[in-house]
Each structure stands twice: as structure tokens, then as C-alpha cells.
Structure 1
Amino acid sequence: MAGQTETVLNALLEGIDRGRLNPGDVIEEAPLMQIHGVSRTPVREAFIQLESAGLIRRLPRKGAVLFKPNLEEFLAILEVHAKLEGQAAGLAARRLSSHNARDLEAAVVACEDYAARPGPGDPAQYYQLNMRFHEVVALSAGNPVLVDMIKTNARKLMAYYRARYRYPGSIADSALEHRAIATLITDHKREEAEALMQRHVQFDQVTVMDLLAAVG
């Protein structure tokens, strides 16, 4: 049963990560049971775990709805998320291994190469590269608890960060900031890396309102 619950849970998390599930989407139990060949119990157990993480709200006899923050909730989550991301960058600047340094450089180059392509680019495709950059920074911090906290908070905001890359110039700006953050980390400048990462993931209130409207 535990394996079945994990299968459903991982499928739903991947749906969030890949943008197949977005804020406000209703997740019904029956299709999940059919797709994964499981009973109702593993589906509901997966829902319980997602609800405890604040990613969904269960609906009586109807499944669940993916968490959709209002303005106040968004700003509160963003404030915490920026602190966590900043802390990860600061710790990475202290603890960066040679292996993580190679992964970090590869992630930055991938973002830079995509940003250099002609045309506006695909926000969803670039966001996957962006996620990899932030994942490498978090892993470089050497703190698994911090990594899990960042992942959980990021999943509440992913649709909005993805929407941000629809704005002209935002992909190029993001790639430039990734390079600057990576340089600070590899130069072991902890305070500077932490501060720049916090600014990198933050939005002002007007932008937040625009993103809330854009996601719908």
C-alpha cells in the first residue's frame, strides 16, 4: 500500500513540477485510481500528504483542488521562500564541492544558451532549466531538510514563476542573474550570494498582482 501511495504522490508532484497541474485545478480520485491501477485508499493517502504540505485542499467526495493563493498568502509564501533560497545560496558559497561546482556551471550555461536563442522562447521550457539551477544551488548547501523545505514552497509558486517568463526580457534577465549568483557562490562570497539570491526570487507587489491575474 505504501508503494502505491508513493506512486500516486510522485505522479502528482511531477504534474505540479511540469506544469500539468496548476493552481485551482481540480484533481479527481477516480481518474487517478484508473491510471495507476489502485484503490481509493492510496489516492486519499497521497492527498493527505499533499494537504499536510499545503499543496492541495481536499474536497468532500470530489477529490482535491490545487492550492491557489490570494495576494496575502502569495506574499507570505514568497517572503519565506526568498529567505530559504537565500540561505541555500549562502550555505552553498561555504560548502560548494568540486562536483557541485561542475553541476552549477552546467546549469548556468544551459540557461545562458537558452536565453541566447532568437525569439521569445518557451516559458515552460526555460522554467525547467531554471528549476535545475535552483536545485543545484540547494543541493550544494548540503542540508537535506532545507532542500525539502525549498521544494515544498517552490511548488506553491511554480505556476507564477513560469508565467513570469512570458514577459519580454525576463528569460535573459534570469540567465544573467544566475551567472552572477553562481559567480558569488564559486568565489565563496556567502553574504553577497545570499542577498542576490533573495532579490532574484522576489517580486514586488504589483508584479505579484499581475501574476495572480495571469494564472487566473
Structure 2
Amino acid sequence: MENAKTRAESLRESIEELIAMGKLSPGQHLDETSLAEQFGVSRTPIREALIQLASMGIIEMRPRRGAIVAEVGPDKLIEMFEVMAEFEAMCGRLAARRMTADEHAGLRAAHLACQAARDGADPDAYFYLNEAFHDCIYAGSHNSFLAEQARALHRRLRPYRRLQLRVRDRLRMSFDEHAAAVDAIIAGDEEKTMEVLRQHIMIQGQRFADLVASLHQLKSAA
């Protein structure tokens, strides 16, 4: 039973990764048989993995139509980013109050690790390092419930955050925004930390237009 559970969780992570990296696109049908063949397993753990993904909102299970990668319209997307921005700001405020000196060192190291990906203009490498950076802030809030909620929404938005990083000059801007957040957290400046992180996450104006354009490209490629 434990092995089956572990296998399903591993498959869930693998399928989620395919979605996050754009290899499975919004609205795409997920065929259990094809996935089972792709991963060399039976349909049972695939079905369990899909149920887990559905519970996270990453895919949708439709009666008599099977599973599809969840599609998020522009209106809902901006609402989700609004909530994510507030989660991020709350985590940052608490991190500015509660992070230890060791955690400050870890946060700075996570930030500097992003530099090579920025300099190499490698959005996929930056994507994973960026996740590690933000997770340092969630952990540094020392509020496990808030961190859990932030991570869940962060995961839900992974495909769209990955697209954001492909917009021209976004890697440099993101890295600079991270630097400002690190400085504010280490200085213990709660208000500045909230302001920086909220603006870092929010998609407004041109950033929203860029993301919508990227979504159209993603659907065209599907």
C-alpha cells in the first residue's frame, strides 16, 4: 500500500512538472492509458495521481470526458495573482520579524544562486531557483499554516509564473526585486518587505498584457 502511495505521489509530481514546463498545455486531454505507457506503470497509480492533481486544482476531472489540464481565464488568473501577492506579503512581513541569522544566510544564498541563471538568460533554470528562494521566505514566516497555503497557490500558478520569466528582461527585474526583498527582510523592515513582495508578484498593466500574450502562444502551440 505504501509503495503504491509513493508511486502515485511520484507520478503526480512528474505530471505536474510536465504541466509547469508547458509540455502539457491548458485544456489538453490527459489519457490514462497513454500516461501509463509513458511512465511504464499500470493505470491505477496514474488514476490516483490524477485525483491528487484534481484536488490541487491543477487538472479537472470531467464526467464521461476524463481529465484535462485546468484552463484559467484572464479574470480568474489576475484574481489568483492578487491573492498570491497578499500571501507573499504576509509571509514576508512575518519573515522580517522572525527569521534567524542562519535563515538570513540561507535566504541570501538562495538569492545569489539565481544569479548565474539570470546572467545566462536561462528562464527554466531560474524558475527552479526562484521557487527555492520564495520557499525560504515561506519557511521564514514561522507560520506553517500560512506557508502551506502560499505553497499550494504557488504550485497552482507554476505554469503561468514560468511563462512570466520568458518575457524580455524579466529575469533581471525579478533578480533585482529579490535583492530588494532580501535587504528589507534582513533589515527587519516589515512594511518595505510587504511592498516589495506584493509588487513582485502582482500582474498589472503591461505585465498582465505580456502574460495574456504568452497564454495565447501556449494554446497555439498545443
| TM-score, length basis structure 1 | 0.86
CA distance in 2, matches of 1:7, 1:126: 23
Aligned-CA RMSD value: 2.3
Whether the 8 Å CA contact 1:81–1:153 is kept in 2: the answer is yes
The match for 1:177 is: 177
Which letter does structure 1 place at the counterpart of 2:176?
A: L
CA distance in 2, matches of 1:38, 1:28: 13
CA distance in 1, matches of 2:89, 2:143: 13
2:34 is equivalent to residue 31 of structure 1: yes
Task: Return the offset for 1:139.
Answer: 1.4
Q: 1:35 to 1:169 in 2, by over 3 A?
A: closer
* Percent of pairs with identical residues: 31
The match for 2:109 is: 106
The match for 1:203 is: 203
Whether the 8 Å CA contact 2:58–2:69 is kept in 1: the answer is yes
CA distance in 2, matches of 1:99, 1:35: 43
Cα deviation digits, residues 65-119 of structure 1 (max 9, x gap)? 22221011101111111111111111111111233222211111122343344xx
Whether the 8 Å CA contact 1:4–1:38 is kept in 2: the answer is no
2:156 is equivalent to residue 156 of structure 1: yes
Q: Gaps (5+ residues) in structure 2?
A: 217-222
| TM-score, length basis structure 2 | 0.84
Task: Return the offset for 1:158.
Answer: 2.1
The match for 1:187 is: 187
Out of 36, 46, 55, the residue aligned to residue 58 of structure 2 is 55
Cα deviation digits, residues 129-167 of structure 1 (max 9, x gap)? 211211111111122322222222123322222222233
Whether the 8 Å CA contact 1:160–1:212 is kept in 2: the answer is no
Q: Gaps (5+ residues) in structure 1?
A: none
